[in-house]
Amino acid sequence: MQIRNIIICASLTAALTQVSCKKFLDQQPKTALTQDQAFAKLDNIKPLISGLYTNWRNVRKDRGGFMFELGSDEAQQGAYQVMTDPDQAALDKYDGYMVPRNNALTGQWQNRWPIVVAAAQAVYALQNNKEDEATRTELLGEASFIRAGVNFELTQYWGKIPISDPARLDQLGTKRQPLDQVYAYIINDLETAVKYLPETQSDKSHVTKYAALALLGKVYMSAPDDAKVRNFQKAADTLNLIIQSGKYKLLTNYADLWDAAHPNSTESLYEYQFNNTYPDNNQTQWQMGSRALANLPSVGANCYFGGYDLMVPTMYCYSDKSASGLWEAGDLRKAQSVRYDFTYKGITPTLSTGFGGDELDPHVKKYEDPRTDGVMSFWYSGKNIFYIRYADVLLMYAECLNELGKTNDAVNLINSTVRARAFGGTIPAGLSWDPAMSQDAFRTNIMDERMRELCFEGWRRSDLIRTGNFVNLVKARNKWTRQSGTIQAFNQLYPIPLTETLQNPDIPASDQNPGY
Amino acid sequence: MTKSLLLLLLSACTLFVHAQDQTGGSLTIKGKIREKSSGQSIPGVQVTQKSNPKNVVVANASGEFTITVPGNAVLIVHALGYTDEEVAVAGRSSSLTIDLEQGGGGNLDEIIVVGAVVKRRDLTGSVATIDAKAISITPTTDINTAIQGKVAGAYVVNSAQPGSAATIKIRGNNSLSYGTSPIFVVDGVIVGDNLNSLNPDDIASMQVLKDASATALYGSRGANGVVIVSTKKGRRNAGEVHYNNWVSWSEFERKMKFMNAQQIHDLRADAFANQYIENNPTADRQAYLNRINSDTSNLVFAPYERDTYKSGKSYDWLGAVSQNGMAHNHTLDFSGGSDKGTYYLSLNYTDQKGLLKGSDYKRMGARLNIDQNVKSWLKVGTYTTFTHSITDIVDGSVFPTAVGANPLLPIDTAGLYTLKWADIFNQDQYNPLRSLYIQNNQYLNRLLTSNYINVTPIKDLNIRTSFSADIYNEQQYSYTPTTTGQDLRNSNHGNATHYKMETYNLQWDNSATYTKTFGEHRLNFLVATSLQQNTSNFDQITAYGFPNDDFSYMYLNGVMSRDKTVLGSDFVTTTLMSYLGRVEWGWQDKYFATATLRYDGSSKFGPSHRWGAFPSLAVAWDMSRENFMSKVNVISHWKWRVGYGVAGNQNIPNYATMSLYRPVYSSGSVYYNSDGRRGNPDLQWERQKQINVGADIGLLHDRLNLTADYFHIKNDNLLIDQTLALTSGFNNQVSNVGSMTNQGIEFTLDYAIIKQKDLAWNFRFMISRDRNRVTKLYGNTQAIYNKGGYTGVEIQRTGNYILGQPVNTIYSYKFSKIAQVGDTAKLSHINFGGRTVHPGDIVPVDKDGNNVINDDDRYVVGKLDPDFYGGFGTDLTYKGIGLTVFFNYSSGLKRISSLYEGGIQSDGMEAASVDMLKRWTPTNTNTNIPRAVYGIPRFGIGDVDLGVQDASFIRMSVLSLSYTLPKSIRKNVFDNARIYVTGSNLWLITRDKGYDPETGDGFPNTKSVTVGLNLSL
């Protein structure tokens, strides 16, 4: 009996000691990299940076991609959207819903910060990496560009922002930094990008040195006074590097810019890469098209200019100059930018009961994707979206020349490039700009010219604020802003989202933007 | 750690080998043991002197035994398959006849806990038991449903969907966000909460461990309670065959009342006229109404709607997609045994057709339980069940769309892909008749097996090792054909999804138990170890672009849209390692104490926080055995219990201690992306400290039994998925952030009002109450909000954690009033955020009085958990006839019914509740139902507490009449034959306006009539 007991106890002991607790309980993920692993080597950092490009691109997808184009003098929400979503409506109305808890704005703050922080982690890891120098520096240039690009958006919309720098985390924390610090940081990143980025990229989703120069030029022009870095000379010099390189030229035919058959053309410094397959489509037409078409039973979602009226042109933006609007006779850009005719395959849609009433008013045309027509829903629309194109570089450069007192040169540049193309190569009599126009007249004219050339491409808000036209022009031209009548100068900055002030001890509610 | 516990185990082996035994006594008893109903003798029965378990004899083949005991001794008579009987010898003749009652199959008194066989009565603390008979009164294939209302402290919420299990919570909420379900231990195997693969007919008993002194046995997993399920075993020296069958027919328990075509027409006309006047305040309303109602106008009504209106018809879309339900269930079991061992074999088949066309659940299962003595010191056995089930799932859009369909719209499948109101096609209302074409079939195979080797090296020392596995294999296949609105909208040209998942939960338990008696002291030792490894993996394919619909999801080879193909897979392993020690002490069957210590290590936590200790202590005092109670005849027993213990919860997402990066495919290349969650290496267990005070009281010779418990629980280190400041770069992390308290009482009453030979009348009543409160969140945070909605960042009505409030609250605006004509001037000063508030519209309370209605004006307007709940019932038997009625109830809880809220917000362009007939109009101003108006943004009843439903209810869950055939009819063919008719959910009282206060509005609940048969050979 006793011997058997001992044998049993012993064998049990032996069996149990086979298992080491430590090993048994150490279960690492089998299908994911940990943070340490992800940033440890260039082979992993490279796809991480590709991920940053994709996340940056995704900010421009779908509804969210147009939140900051609303509430401008060129675009506003469709009436049905204003009726049904007060938070989003506030982006046009600048009313009591434009407050820290505004959900539409919170969403935009939310999707940008993970990109900034991950880019900062990549920069930090690359600064300490000891692998292949050429690869390391190129990646460093890319990560720096992305961080600068997204930070520039954040600071334009929200003003003072935290600086995400792992090397200085203890010192900076996550509190808002003064604008001069923020802009110095952005410019430093862009200088790094200019230094290390290649002149061309075979993978078009990656940025080049010239994209970095264009953005740097924009930053020098657009920085607010408090940032103490606005400098038209530096902006002009930077932009001139692009012009002098000879690598870019305007497409002869403005319409080709909006043809999916001409992606990444010689006019494109950088464009967000999309296609018609989820998740790489951008759903833009879903937001831009007309509900009247989407509701046609025989057509449904397969008409390429149907959609749900998130963003429509303001009356100013779709009207002719003769009707106190924007467009001059013969400007070929008008028909490419705005859709006026909604007849589809012989069907003339009508307004249905319950719509907002503006569904058959002119709509944004630039994002229409005829590749989807008849074969798939406009939800799959997926043309590339421009970040910066050469026409913008020329317009910015001309603006700098004007600010530097060289109005004559500025007018000649516009006449010979952007406006010439707009009229098919030759500007009709009387529409050529007068080289003798005053500096102020140029300032007014260039604002309209930028709208004609670049409307709905995402820079209008920045242009309005930079030129001091934000309140007066938006109030005059945006239907909902005018109706509400509540816009004020402080609305140039959006409120810091409530979720941030509640959860970030470094940004107390008292550190809110003025006016909110 | 391993070593020290092994030393303990070894010393336990050796120490007690040398222990002395003691005997004494003066009376010799000769007895005979019989089966109570038949009077036949039972051989092989074990008879033990209670105060001295070493004094034990075994009855011979004729059921006779002889034992010598002290004059005041109590005998324990124990036979496999019978309920244990205790017999006091004092004052009785030395020649005893003891009748044993069958224990519903198997030995009800022995259950498997932490890998060891223990006596049920040795489970100290608050433990509720439910036996096979109580389970069987509810005809169901889901065991959670079967115990609803029958266990105090177990809150069961039914599911209406065939094949899906009811949810169960023990003692309310003890965790904020990571799981409220108890763990289930089936014959020693810890299984997840998907228990509907178990056949209720196979269950012998269930024990619900409620307080921490009991759940501490399961340490890190015990905080939400433990349900121990023991399946049936065969009986020695008997061969039995049982056949249980039932057939049931079901229909909608009740339907929400919606407006018919004519009412909807008039509502819409009113809503549009109101909009017209809103926009043109000076216009002629009647002229507008005349215009829109004219035959030529298409302004508001489409021609098809005018035709329906004039015809007086109304189209019932729900009727078009529903059917009468029917279910049948068969269990055939064979059991028996000899001195060497027992067996139980059962076969089960069930088929349930649900109320929606095409909804079906089929299950086939088999169980084999064997216990066999190989040697006098060696016993082996298995408890194994295999289940195969097939669920045909109706697309989730069918029911809500059919309920919300336009009654003016003729039922049609020809050209209609999405439903329409007037001429506007609603992109979200896919034609439900077409959605029925969507195939979605789920196949589950599950092997649940527990296998043991038990060695008895010396008397009273049991060393047991068991290997268990819960192997779960799920396959789900779906196909959305080209003929559906879903397909048209997404331009898929047919799409199919294959999902295959395998889960292996392996468990190895080792235990040693030893019982020793020193004089009047009885000691029981248990040491145990357990290793668990849970691995699961899945793969998933979604393919698009099918050449035709003919092969459904079965042939992916020919799909065209290769670039849309979605692939997915994952492999996950988690492990848990435990050591356990327990000592029980009893003195004179009067005083009891149990101390337990469990030590758990889990792979879910980081290396520095991996291990946790979970101690508990329980004491009990059987007051009725004291001398001073001997004269109180009305009290037959009275036992006090006090328990304290610590239990844990580790139900967090896998790998939450690390920030993870995974590859993602996009546009022909691959990038790495974070999943947005920041790893938290400091994560720890949730820790629950619970004290329980209770009493078990038997009065009137145990005809009236009362059990009462009070508990107070403090839960600390609560785990939640905390959203982070966005500037952190991550969205969320799992953190130990808060504390909550939970306290409550439970009370059970069981009264055998009449207990005669031919007539018996029993009454049973149960009530439970628990109240929880969040007492701490991280830092100085007052609330953690649940964000969601269209933009993903709106504060939701539920899922918020607010300091000082219960966990599950509803957080919304409060209804102030319906605006009246005289209020216009006053209301014009308030900023309603773009919403119109004109006469007839809802006015919310401006909580902070700042004349702006925003999130600061939200209140906690109710909670989703009941104040109290339970069940009561009675059964009456006269000779062979039995009548049973059982009610469940739940009180003080609220519910959100989006369906009803939508029906009250209707403007005639969506389905409307008939309550809209009582809406505000200039002539009907004394009402809480707002006016109808089209296209004007207003507050809906869902924005204020007006829409919150009072989900309290009393439901007659069972009404059953049965007849047991008398012996004269059964003759010698059947040992037992019983037929019954049961009505389920026949009667419901509630103020809830939705479909059902308990199962909600997502899937229709049923009422049913069941006809059943039990036969025994």
Helices (H), B442-557: 485-490
Residue A289 pLDDT grade (very low, low, confident, very high; cuts 50, 70, 90): very high
> What ipTM was predicted for this assembly?
0.85
Find the CB nearest B727 among A15, A16, A113: A113
Q: Is the pLDDT of residue B5 over 60?
A: no
Q: Is the pLDDT of residue B13 over 50?
A: no
How far apart are the CA of B138 and the nearest CA of chain A, in angstroms? 43
Tally of helices (H runs) and strands (E runs) in chain B: 14, 52
Residues of B in contact with A497 (CB under 8 A): 726, 793
For every residue of A177-212, DSSP letters joined together read --HHHHHHHHHHHHHHHHHHS-S--SSTTS--HHHH
Backbone phi and psi for residue B37, each to the nearest 5 degrees, phi listed first: -75, -40
Residue B81 CB partners (closer than 8 Å, separation 6+): B102, B103, B105, B106, B107, B233, B234, B235, B236, B238, B337, B342
Q: Is the pLDDT of residue A7 over 70?
A: no
Mean pLDDT confidence for B205-219 = 86
Q: Which of A350-354, B269-273, B553-557 has the lowest mean pLDDT?
A: A350-354
Interface mutation vs chain B, best among A2, A503, A506, most B CBs within 10 Å: A503
**Given the structure tokens 């009229």, which residue do they identify?**
A423
> Measuring CA to CA, which residue among B998, B977, B985 is closest to residue B957?
B985
Mean pLDDT confidence for B947-951 = 94
Which letter, b or e, does each residue of B99-118 get, where b requires 16 or more Cβ atoms within 10 Å of its Cβ? Answer: ebebbbbbbbbbbbbbbbbb
pTM of the predicted model, to two decimals? Answer: 0.84
Residues of B in contact with A4 (CB under 8 A): 377, 457
**C-alpha–C-alpha distance, residues B39 and B668, integer Å:** 81
Mean pLDDT confidence for B807-814 = 94
pLDDT at B37: 59
CB-CB under 8 Å, A95 with B667? no
Q: Which of A98-112, B13-27, B607-621, B803-817 has the lowest mean pLDDT?
A: B13-27
Mean pLDDT confidence for B138-149 = 82
Query: Which residue ranges form the domains of chain B, and what is each CATH number?
Result: 25-100 (2.60.40.1120), 110-248 (2.170.130.10)
Residues of A in contact with B422 (CB under 8 A): 352-354
Mean pLDDT confidence for B851-864 = 90
CB-CB under 8 Å, A279 with B6? no
pLDDT in tens, B749-776: 999 999 888 899 999 999 999 999 999 9
Find the CB nearest B457 among A4, A53, A352: A4
- Asked whether the beta carbons of B292 and B908 are under 8 A apart, the reply is no
**C-alpha–C-alpha distance, residues B524 and B113, integer Å:** 14
Q: State how far the alpha carbon of B134 is from the alpha carbons of B224, B764, B1006, in Å.
A: 23, 11, 22
Q: State how far the alpha carbon of A367 is from the alpha carbons of A286, A304, A315, A383, B304, in Å.
A: 10, 10, 19, 7, 37
Q: What count of CB pairs under 8 Å joins A to B?
A: 254
Interface mutation vs chain A, best among B425, B573, B672, most A CBs within 10 Å: B672
Q: Is the pLDDT of residue B981 over 80?
A: yes
pLDDT at B38: 60
> Measuring CA to CA, which residue among B642, B687, B641, B677 is closest to residue B221?
B687
Mean pLDDT confidence for A378-390 = 96
Q: Which of A16-20, A254-258, B774-778 has the lowest mean pLDDT?
A: A16-20
pLDDT at B367: 96
Residue B125 pLDDT grade (very low, low, confident, very high; cuts 50, 70, 90): confident
Residue type, A378: F
pLDDT at A85: 80
**C-alpha–C-alpha distance, residues A195 and A142, integer Å:** 11
Q: Which of B21-35, B263-277, B474-488, B916-930 has the lowest mean pLDDT?
A: B21-35
CB-CB under 8 Å, B602 with A500? no
pLDDT at A224: 95
Helix or strand (DSSP H, E) at B769: strand B759-776
Helix or strand (DSSP H, E) at A4: helix A2-17
Find the CB nearest A33 among B570, B661, B937: B661
CB-CB under 8 Å, B3 with A103? no
- The alpha-carbon radius of gyration of chain A (Å, integer) is 26
CB-CB under 8 Å, A101 with B854? yes
Residue A311 pLDDT grade (very low, low, confident, very high; cuts 50, 70, 90): very high
Indicate the burial class of A212 (C-beta count within 10 angstroms; 0-12, 13-18, 19 or more): buried
Find the CB nearest A34 among B2, B417, B659: B659
- % of chain B exceeding 90 in pLDDT: 55
Q: Is the pLDDT of residue B1 over 50?
A: no
Q: Is the pLDDT of residue B93 over 90?
A: no
Interface of B with A in 506-535 (CB under 8 A): 510, 529, 531, 533
Residue B792 pLDDT grade (very low, low, confident, very high; cuts 50, 70, 90): low
Helix or strand (DSSP H, E) at B169: strand B167-170
pLDDT at A443: 97
> Measuring CA to CA, which residue among A451, A413, A453 is closest to residue A432?
A413
Q: Is the pLDDT of residue B558 over 70?
A: yes
Mean pLDDT confidence for A421-429 = 95
CB-CB under 8 Å, A174 with B725? yes
pLDDT in tens, B775-791: 998 877 788 888 777 65
Mean pLDDT confidence for B672-684 = 91
**C-alpha–C-alpha distance, residues B34 and A26, integer Å:** 57
- Asked whether the beta carbons of B749 and B759 are under 8 A apart, the reply is no
Residues of A in contact with B415 (CB under 8 A): 297
Helix or strand (DSSP H, E) at A461: helix A460-466
Question: What would you measure as the largest C-alpha separation in chain B, in angstroms?
Answer: 109
Q: Is the pLDDT of residue A240 over 90?
A: yes
Which token pair is B785? 């909000």
Find the CB nearest A51 among B424, B673, B779: B673
**C-alpha–C-alpha distance, residues A90 and A170, integer Å:** 37
pLDDT at A476: 97
Mean pLDDT confidence for B208-222 = 85
CA dihedral A39, A42, A44, A49 (to 10 degrees): 80
- % of chain A exceeding 90 in pLDDT: 81
**Given the structure tokens 């979720």, which residue do they identify?**
A499
CB-CB under 8 Å, A34 with B793? no
pLDDT at B21: 36
CB-CB under 8 Å, B671 with A53? yes
**Given the structure tokens 């040693």, which residue do they identify?**
B512
Q: Is the pLDDT of residue B631 over 90?
A: no
Residue A363 β-bridge partners: A339
pLDDT at A10: 57
Q: How many CB atoms lie within 10 A of CB B231?
A: 25
Mean pLDDT confidence for B440-447 = 95
Helices (H), B873-966: 898-904
CB-CB under 8 Å, A13 with B607? no
Residues of A in contact with B13 (CB under 8 A): 5-6, 8-9
pLDDT at B936: 80
Mean pLDDT confidence for B364-377 = 94
Mean pLDDT confidence for A328-341 = 97
- The alpha-carbon radius of gyration of chain B (Å, integer) is 32
Interface mutation vs chain B, best among A28, A50, A276, most B CBs within 10 Å: A50
- % of chain B exceeding 70 in pLDDT: 94
Residue B19 pLDDT grade (very low, low, confident, very high; cuts 50, 70, 90): very low
**C-alpha–C-alpha distance, residues A148 and A116, integer Å:** 8
- Backbone dihedral region of B618: left (phi > 0), alpha (psi from -120 to 50 degrees) or beta? beta
Q: Is the pLDDT of residue B194 over 70?
A: no
> Measuring CA to CA, which residue among B911, B945, B916 is closest to residue B930?
B916
Q: Which of A73-77, A501-505, B132-136, B296-300 has the lowest mean pLDDT?
A: B296-300
Q: Is the pLDDT of residue B20 over 60?
A: no
Residues of A in contact with B655 (CB under 8 A): 29, 32
Q: Which of A143-152, B461-470, B482-491, B501-510 has the lowest mean pLDDT?
A: B482-491
Which token pair is B491? 């331009």
pLDDT in tens, B402-438: 999 999 999 988 778 889 898 888 888 999 999 999 9
**C-alpha–C-alpha distance, residues B764 and B872, integer Å:** 5
Q: Where are the beta strands (DSSP E) in B830-922?
A: 842-844, 859-863, 868-878, 881-891, 894-896
pLDDT in tens, B697-735: 999 888 999 999 999 999 999 988 888 888 888 888 999
> Measuring CA to CA, which residue among B148, B31, B47 is closest to residue B94?
B31
Mean pLDDT confidence for B202-214 = 88
Interface mutation vs chain B, best among A19, A20, A21, most B CBs within 10 Å: A21
The mean predicted confidence, pLDDT, of chain B is: 87
- Chain B's closest residue to A300, CA to CA, is B489
- Asked whether the beta carbons of B690 and B174 are under 8 A apart, the reply is no
- Chain A's closest residue to B675, CA to CA, is A32
pLDDT at B108: 52
pLDDT at B689: 93
Residue type, B35: E
pLDDT in tens, A116-140: 999 999 999 999 999 999 999 999 9
**C-alpha–C-alpha distance, residues A159 and A513, integer Å:** 8
Q: Is the pLDDT of residue B360 over 90?
A: yes
- Asked whether the beta carbons of B117 and B50 are under 8 A apart, the reply is no
Q: Which of A358-362, B284-288, B295-299, B386-390 has the lowest mean pLDDT?
A: B295-299
pLDDT at A11: 62
pLDDT in tens, A50-109: 999 999 999 999 999 999 999 999 999 999 888 778 889 999 999 888 988 888 898 899
pLDDT in tens, A474-499: 999 999 999 989 999 999 999 999 88
